Amino acid sequence: MSIFTRRTFFQGATMALSAARVMGANDKIRIGIIGLGGRGTAHVGYYGRIADAEITGLCDVNQAARERAQARLARANAPKAKEFVDMRKLYDDKDIDAVSIATPNHWHALATIWACRAGKDVYCEKPACHNVYEGRRMVAVARETKKMVQIGSQGRSAAHKIKAMQMLKDGAIGKLYLAKGLCFKRRKSIGKTPTEPVPPGLDWDMFLGPAQYKEYSKNRFAYNWHWFWDTGNGDIGNQGVHEMDIARWGMGDPVSPKSVVSTGGKYIYDDDQETPNTQLASFLYDGFEIVFEVRGLLTGPEAGVTIGDLFYGEDGWMSVDNRGFTAYKGESSEKFAEERAQGDGVIQHMQNFLDACRSRDYTQLHADVAIGVASADLCHLANISYRTNKRLEWDDRNNKFVNAPDADKLLTRVYRKPYIV
């Protein structure tokens, strides 16, 4: 079975757990938010603007983060939510219908699987999973339990991107031969921080979860966990996965590439970061190619784009980013279509999730878990090629690389008990 499993798979899976509560048309969907860092706190604000939603639970391993989220609810004149340190306690709560997960990447899969098993629908931030194996399990469990699982690839709900992708599908620039995703997001050095005692109010063991135990340091916590292989996926799997998802979408959501090669390095800085700050990846398919580039150092835009996508066809090309899209045609690159963005699509993406929670139809989701996993998988394949320093061919039938056992080991991880996917 392809690692890039589409939404059509697992439809014949076992009968699901029944929902704990049947929601009426006028009922609010009661949301528990898990992970209350920068993105999770933003979730508090987003759901507070949606009439269909009511935040009834807040979960984080850090007491200070829970307090900040409660303060945000209070400023919005919303009722105080129940607080949890352990997400499993939140899952046991019958006053919560669905969860919104904004934990570090290494928790996404297990948090989603536990939630589905507990009868909760799930909105999970990108990337869908920390490694390839986890994505397979997430899709399987979502189908078995018949839970709605939306990945936070909100570009799929942004009106200008929907229009741009339809234009590509309709042949506006002819047959496509190349999509290039760009993540030229400035990232300054994180420096070096020593190990030190765990701060009061932080459950460090729960923060690490499935990852192997490491002593606490400031760089391994807060936002910088993105730059360590145990907990993050570098910027290709952080900001970059948004653009990887748009690249796949524009090319028709293709299944497995034939091969991948990724090179780069961590240049200029001497700091604690493990992941590259400069990376170039190429994925070969039959008849076209997807290319992705990460640059965290000082750089200029490409075709006017720093974070976004470029599509090239036989008749022209198109640029797409959060500001809008522009399409050009002919040898002289004459502009023939342009549209500015009217928002980033986050509220619409969350509303789409809530609508699917009512309809119980996962095909209604704009970024169903199978779509999110497929986009995350490209980031994982690129990182595996980078870490093994190899051009890798993919064996789609057997779900592994061709004659590359060292690369196969990186399709999953060694899990720390009891946090096992």
- Looking up residue 352, the CATH number of its domain turns out to be 3.40.50.720
| Residue 353 pLDDT greater than 80, yes or no | yes
Whether residue 91 lies inside any domain: the answer is yes
Of the candidates 8, 24, 53, 26, which has an alpha carbon nearest to the alpha carbon of residue 349? 53
**Do 279 and 400 fall within a single domain?**
yes
Q: For residue 268, what are the CA distances in angstroms to 91, 119, 287?
A: 45, 48, 37
Q: For residue 237, what are the CA distances in angstroms to 122, 234, 274, 384?
A: 20, 6, 14, 12
Q: Are 349 and 49 contacting, i.e. CB atoms less than 8 angstroms apart?
A: no
Whether residue 115 lies inside any domain: the answer is yes
For position 252, which CATH number holds?
A: 3.30.360.10
Whether residue 8 lies inside any domain: the answer is no
Q: Round to whole Å and give the CA distance between 101 and 33.
A: 6
**Do 387 and 405 fall within a single domain?**
yes
Cα pseudo-dihedral 62, 67, 72, 76, rounded to 10: 140
Whether residue 385 lies inside any domain: the answer is yes
**Do 170 and 148 fall within a single domain?**
no
Q: Are 350 and 344 contacting, i.e. CB atoms less than 8 angstroms apart?
A: no
Domain extent at residue 115: 29-156+346-367
Whether residue 146 lies inside any domain: the answer is yes
**Do 136 and 281 fall within a single domain?**
no
| Domains of the chain: total | 2
| Residue 21 pLDDT greater than 90, yes or no | no
Q: Residues 79-120: pLDDT tens digits?
A: 999 999 999 999 999 999 999 999 999 999 999 999 999 999
**Which residue has 């306690």 as its token pair?**
89
What average pLDDT score do residues 312-329 get?
Answer: 98
Whether residue 3 lies inside any domain: the answer is no
**Do 179 and 255 fall within a single domain?**
yes
**Do 299 and 399 fall within a single domain?**
yes
**Do 185 and 316 fall within a single domain?**
yes
**Do 185 and 300 fall within a single domain?**
yes
Give the pLDDT band (50/70/90) at residue 5. Answer: very low
Whether residue 206 lies inside any domain: the answer is no
Q: Residues 186-237: pLDDT tens digits?
A: 999 999 999 999 999 999 999 999 999 999 999 999 999 999 999 999 999 9
Check residue 16 and give its pLDDT.
36
Q: Are 24 and 154 contacting, i.e. CB atoms less than 8 angstroms apart?
A: no
**Do 181 and 287 fall within a single domain?**
yes
Rg of the chain on CA atoms, in Å: 21
- What one-character DSSP code corresponds to residue 93? -
**Do 94 and 174 fall within a single domain?**
no
Q: Round to whole Å and give the CA distance between 218 and 117.
A: 33
What average pLDDT score do residues 288-308 get?
Answer: 98
What average pLDDT score do residues 276-304 get?
Answer: 98
Burial 68-100, CB ≥16 within 10 A → b, else e? bbbebbeeeeeeebebbbebeebbebeebbbbb
Give the contacts of 359 (CB within 8 A, at least 6 positions apart): none
- What one-character DSSP code corresponds to residue 404? -
Q: Are 35 and 61 contacting, i.e. CB atoms less than 8 angstroms apart?
A: no
**Do 97 and 242 fall within a single domain?**
no
The pTM score is 0.93
Tokens of 313: 């066809």
Q: Are 57 and 81 contacting, i.e. CB atoms less than 8 angstroms apart?
A: yes
**Do 248 and 395 fall within a single domain?**
yes
- Cis peptide bond upstream of 127, omega within 30: yes
Whether residue 238 lies inside any domain: the answer is yes
